[in-house]
Amino acid sequence: MAVIQFIKGINETAIPNIKLTRSRDGSTGTATFRFNQPDIIKPEMQEKGEIKGMFLKDEEGEIVTTDVSAKFINGRPQGIECIYIIKNPLKWDRFMRFMERYANSNNLSFTKA
C-alpha cells in the first residue's frame, strides 16, 4: 500500500492535488503536492510532533522531500504545499511507480494537461 506521511507513522488521509512537470528530455522534473485542509494542520495533531518533511512510502521504500510549506488564510493554516524535485530518469520512474500505487490505493485518476 502507498501512503503519504508528514510525521512518521501517521498517514495523511487528505488527497493532494499533484502537478507534474518534466524537462523536454525527460531526465528531470518537479512534482508539486497541494493539500487542502490536511489532517496534519488540525489542532489535535500539534502534540504528535513536528513536520520534518513529506514521506511517500510504499513497498519499495520511501521518497522524501523537505520542501514543505504551510498556506495560511486569515492567520489560519489552510493547506500544505510540498515540492519534490526529480533529478534523473531513475528517480522519475521510481516516483511514477509510487504514484501508480498511491492512485490505486485511493481510486485516483491521471489527467493530462
The SS3 of residue 65 is strand
pLDDT in tens, 85-107: 999 999 999 999 999 999 999 98
End-to-end CA distance of the chain: 27
Contacts of 41 (CB under 8 A, 6+ apart): 70, 77, 78, 79, 80
User: Per DSSP, what are the bridge partners of residue 7?
Assistant: 10
Q: What are phi and psi of 104, to 5 degrees?
A: -65, -40
| CATH homologous superfamily for the domain 3-105 | Photosystem II Psb28 (2.40.30.220)
Residue at grid coordinates 531526465 = 27
The domain segmentation of the chain, as residue ranges, is: 3-105
pLDDT in tens, 2-43: 999 999 999 999 999 999 999 999 889 999 999 999 999 998
Q: Distance between CA atoms of 68 and 80, rounded to whole angstroms?
A: 7
pTM: 0.91
